[in-house]
């Protein structure tokens, strides 16, 4: 049966020429998957991340956290899917089925923010998960992590409301054409809780010993069209690769490039 589904996200959806977060890619994948199964999918983004030339439809569905319930009641969807549990803290009790997609450990991410109250986070997280009829996770490991939180919120231990839905992406069109020269390509921006340097250091040391080998880094701070709270409230989001990998002759640095171009670079590498 075809349903009208409202996806509420705290991210800006993928936009040409703009950097995109993992959360936005997750929502994009869910939306495309649901549409492929015949459902009508509407996406509500935060007002603060909308582009100046945003469509009327995007503007009409845009929300602020305090007014997210107003958008839901205006649309009156058959199902609401909230990206991450934070926005669910603003929701009143509703007769509309609610699913919360949990794709990352916000407790860990919040520990890197300029300000964070872990006790408040824990309490509101438990309260938010208790509101959901369904909890969506991308893998079994995430299910085990969030299961404890859900049980604290009153979920039935015999039948916890989880669905494992793997991350889905658009089909990569770039064909593999790796050359004879050993080349590793690493691209993107890492979260402060993720440390890429142990692996990159080993790769650089190994490549230094191989004639013609290269470790290509497409990294750095994204060029933004507008300020985004993600970059204002997080400490150490952008790594100092040049400092940490100083002295490795095999390491070459490049600016961030659009995703489609990066896929072609990946396709030409031995490993990426």
The reported pLDDT for the residue numbered 243 is: 87
- Length of the chain as a residue count: 272
The reported pLDDT for the residue numbered 226 is: 52
Which DSSP category does 157 fall into?
T
Which DSSP category does 236 fall into?
S
Q: Which domains does the chain have, with CATH numbers?
A: 4-164 (3.40.50.2000), 183-267 (no CATH)
Taking only the tens place, the pLDDT of each residue in 219-259 is 876 666 555 544 554 455 556 788 889 999 999 999 888 88
- Helix (H/G/I), strand (E/B), else coil: 27: helix
- 108-113 long-range contacts, CB within 8 A, separation 24+: 108/193, 109/191, 109/193, 109/234, 111/193, 112/191, 112/192, 112/193, 112/234, 112/235, 112/236, 113/233, 113/234, 113/235
CA–CA distance, 215 with 252 (Å, rounded to integer):
6
Residues (pLDDT < 70) of the chain are: 52, 113-116, 172-174, 192, 221-239
The reported pLDDT for the residue numbered 207 is: 95
Strand bridging mode 183-187 / 134-137:
unpaired
- Helix (H/G/I), strand (E/B), else coil: 144: helix
119: burial class by Cβ within 10 Å (0-12, 13-18, 19+)? exposed
Tokens of residue 91, six digits:
């929701």
In the block, residue with structure tokens 């089925």: 97
The reported pLDDT for the residue numbered 136 is: 97
In the block, residue with structure tokens 């064909």: 175
The reported pLDDT for the residue numbered 168 is: 80
Sheet arrangement for strand 214-218: 183-187, 214-218, 251-254
């Amino acid at each position: 049966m075809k349903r009208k589904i409202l996806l509420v996200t705290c991210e800006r959806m993928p936009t040409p020429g703009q950097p995109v977060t993992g959360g936005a890619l997750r929502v994009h994948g869910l939306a495309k998957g649901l549409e492929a199964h015949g459902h009508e999918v509407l996406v509500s983004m935060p007002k603060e991340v909308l582009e100046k030339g945003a469509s009327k439809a995007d503007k009409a569905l845009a929300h602020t956290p305090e007014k997210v319930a107003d958008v839901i009641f205006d649309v009156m969807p058959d199902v609401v899917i909230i990206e991450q549990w934070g926005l669910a803290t603003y929701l009143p009790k509703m007769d509309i089925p609610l699913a919360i997609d949990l794709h990352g450990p916000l407790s860990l991410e919040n520990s890197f923010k300029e300000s964070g109250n872990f006790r408040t986070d824990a309490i509101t997280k438990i309260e938010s998960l208790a509101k959901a009829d369904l909890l969506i996770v991308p893998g079994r490991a995430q299910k085990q992590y969030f299961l404890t939180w859900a049980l604290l919120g009153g979920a039935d231990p015999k039948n916890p409301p989880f669905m494992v839905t793997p991350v889905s992406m658009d089909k990569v069109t770039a064909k593999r054409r790796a050359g004879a020269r050993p080349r590793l390509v690493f691209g993107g921006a890492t979260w402060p809780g993720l440390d890429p340097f142990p692996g990159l250091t080993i790769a650089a040391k190994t490549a230094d010993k191989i004639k013609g080998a290269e470790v290509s880094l497409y990294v750095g701070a994204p060029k933004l069209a507008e300020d985004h709270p993600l970059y204002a409230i997080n400490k150490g989001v952008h790594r100092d690769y040049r400092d940490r990998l100083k002295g490795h002759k095999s390491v070459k640095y490049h600016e961030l490039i659009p995703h489609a171009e990066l896929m072609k670079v990946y396709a030409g590498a031995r490993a990426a």
